[in-house]
């Protein structure tokens, strides 16, 4: 599980945040993960979850490597030597992460880290331990609007979103007689009772994996196939808890809506960019989160979240300042791609805040959406914005994008500079504040499940 040569490492690092000297006079550098093998062990008697990670990474310079992890570490080794981790802020204080306590030379290195999973993730506690008989539910829920990003680093060591790398989850449940199932967007093999290996594609980043583990008899599944426009047959899994289905959630409605949405998205943006579709149906209404070819969502947000399988989890943002692009695209599509002659009412800086920032601006759902609607009007003589997005989806599939790259693509299609528009509504140095009483972006953002909602809404009937 490695890149074929260092050219791929250098490509990812071209999107990394700048190196810097910290207050301890250490040179902090960003590295490229080549592969990561994560061994997850869930002990249902002790109610403990541990992760042993073996990470191969590449550095293009001397320095102290930055990594991301928000769970307690029990041991760490760099190239066979015991070291430590230290908290580190970015120079502009816009992000925080960890750095290794030992510097590295250019080249490839091996990092081994053991950690517990005891702290809240981006959406609350990721594990529910249940008794009589002993079993568990585990969801690695993610969020792009969580401070510093709320991706895989909430549960195990990972990297910034610029980095594409192969991942394997080796999962084991011990001290349980209950059959469990894995729901994921990776290639899964059951190696023994209660044991699985999951391999994720090399183009995945820290925001892409969907990982859900739970007792098999507590879930209802509906499987089908979608005939893609490129001739592929794409398997679709819609599933939910049996408790939700008994309360009236209809998996068939999710399946039918998924077929409709996929057909529309393929007409707009080309063949679906993943090999499968996995939908964790969490209820009827709003709220959801995107993964690569997967989503945990309510029915009302299904279109929005599957749109993200093109923009966000195929074309992945380099950082939080590129996150506005995919949220604006999905939000514009949610209102059926209107064309606005007037630009947005507010100026915003959602695309030039900090190279270290991992959080998407909430302005993307409102100002960003209306900005794309205005671009559609500006590009009306060339067929509007949607042909640009179709070309963008194909050209940048399974790769990284920055806000400036997106701007360049649109300008190339338009045939002239759009610098004034982007400077005013995407990179404004004087963004317009909300007026007193004005509805804020959170109220207009129904597409992300609250930290409490993922478990409390999905599993209210389960005896904890």
| DSSP β-bridge partners for residue 63 | 104
CA-wise closest residue to 117 among 196, 53, 185: 53
Tokens 């953002």, residue located: 445
Contact 413, 267 (CB under 8 A): no
How confident is the prediction along the chain (464 residues), in pLDDT tens digits per residue? 334 444 455 689 999 999 999 999 999 999 999 999 999 999 999 999 999 999 999 999 999 999 999 999 999 999 999 999 999 999 999 999 999 999 999 999 999 999 999 999 888 899 999 988 999 999 999 999 887 769 999 999 999 999 999 999 999 999 999 999 999 999 999 999 999 999 999 999 999 999 999 999 999 999 999 999 999 999 999 999 999 999 999 999 999 999 999 999 999 999 999 999 999 999 876 689 999 999 999 999 999 999 999 999 999 999 999 999 999 999 999 999 999 999 999 999 999 999 999 999 999 999 999 999 999 999 999 999 999 999 999 999 999 999 999 999 999 999 999 999 999 999 999 998 865 444 444 444 545 554 445 555 444 433 32
**Class of residue 220 by CB neighbours under 10 A (exposed 0-12, middle 13-18, buried 19+):** middle
Give 83's DSSP letter: -
Residues 336-362 as b or e (16 or more Cβ within 10 Å = b)? ebeebeebbebbbbbbebbbbbbbbbb
Q: What is the pLDDT of residue 456?
A: 52
| DSSP β-bridge partners for residue 225 | 235
Peptide linkage before 316 cis (omega within 30 of 0): no
What is the sign, positive or negative, of the torsion defined by CA atoms of 327, 330, 333, 337? positive
Q: In what order do the strands lie in the sheet with 135-139?
A: 127-130, 135-139, 211-215, 180-184
The packing angle between helices 251-269 and 386-395, to 10°, is 90
Give the containing element (helix H, strand E) for 230: none
Q: What is the pLDDT of residue 461?
A: 35
Q: What is the pLDDT of residue 198?
A: 98
pTM: 0.93
Residues 300-329 as b or e (16 or more Cβ within 10 Å = b)? bbbbbbbbbbbbbbbbbbbbbbbbbbbbbb
Task: Please count the helices (runs of H) and the strands (runs of E) in the chain.
Answer: 10, 24
Query: What are the two backbone dihedrals, phi and then psi, of residue 56, each rounded to the nearest 5 degrees?
Result: -100, 125
Q: What is the pLDDT of residue 448?
A: 53
Residues 6-215: name the CATH superfamily: tricorn interacting facor f3 domain (2.60.40.1730)
- Each domain of the chain, given as residue ranges in start order, spans 6-215, 316-425
Q: What is the pLDDT of residue 3?
A: 46
Q: How many Cα atoms sit within 13 Å of 284 on the Cβ side?
A: 11
Query: How far, in Å, are 162, 207, 314, 452 from residue 394 at the CA level?
Result: 19, 20, 10, 36
Q: What is the pLDDT of residue 8?
A: 53
Cα 213 from chain centroid? 18
Write the Ramachandran bin of 398: left for phi over 0, alpha for psi from -120 to 50, otherwise beta. Answer: left
Give 311's DSSP letter: B
């Amino acid at each position: 599980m490695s890149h074929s040569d260092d050219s791929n490492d250098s490509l990812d690092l071209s999107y990394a945040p700048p190196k810097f000297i910290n207050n301890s006079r250490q040179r902090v550098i960003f590295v490229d993960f080549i592969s990561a093998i994560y061994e997850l062990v869930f002990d249902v008697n002790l109610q403990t979850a541990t992760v042993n990670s073996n990470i191969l990474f590449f550095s293009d310079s001397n320095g102290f490597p930055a990594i991301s992890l928000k769970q307690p570490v029990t041991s760490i080794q760099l190239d066979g030597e015991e070291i430590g981790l230290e908290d580190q802020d970015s120079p502009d204080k816009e992000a925080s992460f960890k750095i290794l306590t030992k510097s590295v030379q250019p080249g490839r290195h091996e990092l081994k880290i053991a950690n517990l999973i005891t702290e809240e993730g981006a959406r609350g506690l990721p594990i529910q331990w249940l008794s009589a008989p002993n079993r568990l539910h585990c969801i690695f829920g993610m969020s792009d609007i969580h401070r510093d990003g709320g991706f895989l680093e909430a549960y195990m060591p990972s990297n910034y979103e610029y980095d594409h790398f192969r991942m394997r989850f080796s999962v084991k449940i011990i001290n349980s007689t209950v059959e469990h199932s894995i729901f994921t967007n990776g290639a899964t093999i059951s190696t023994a009772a209660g044991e699985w290996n999951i391999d994720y594609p090399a183009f995945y980043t820290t925001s892409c994996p969907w990982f859900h583990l739970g007792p098999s008899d507590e879930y209802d599944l509906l499987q089908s196939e979608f005939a893609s426009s490129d001739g592929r047959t794409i398997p679709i899994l819609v599933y939910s808890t049996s408790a939700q289905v008994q309360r009236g959630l209809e998996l068939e409605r999710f399946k039918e809506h998924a077929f409709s949405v996929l057909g529309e998205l393929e007409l707009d943006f080309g063949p679906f960019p993943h090999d499968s579709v996995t939908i964790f149906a969490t209820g009827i209404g709003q709220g959801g989160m995107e993964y690569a070819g997967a989503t945990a969502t309510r029915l009302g947000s299904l279109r929005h979240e599957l749109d993200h399988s093109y923009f966000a989890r195929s074309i992945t943002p380099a950082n939080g300042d590129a996150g506005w692009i995919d949220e604006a695209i999905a939000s514009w599509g949610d209102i059926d791609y209107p064309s606005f002659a007037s630009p947005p009412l507010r100026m915003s800086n959602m695309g030039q805040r900090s190279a270290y920032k991992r959080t998407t601006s909430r302005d993307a759902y409102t100002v960003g959406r209306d900005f794309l609607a205005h671009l559609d009007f500006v590009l009306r003589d060339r067929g509007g914005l949607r042909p640009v997005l179709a070309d963008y989806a194909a050209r940048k599939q399974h790769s990284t994008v920055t806000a400036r790259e997106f701007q360049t693509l649109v300008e190339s299609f338009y045939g002239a500079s759009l610098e004034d528009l982007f400077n005013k509504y995407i990179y404004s140095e004087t963004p317009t504040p909300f007026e007193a009483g004005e509805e804020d972006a959170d109220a207009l953002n129904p597409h992300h499940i609250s930290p409490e909602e993922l478990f409390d809404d999905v599993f209210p009937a389960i005896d904890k």
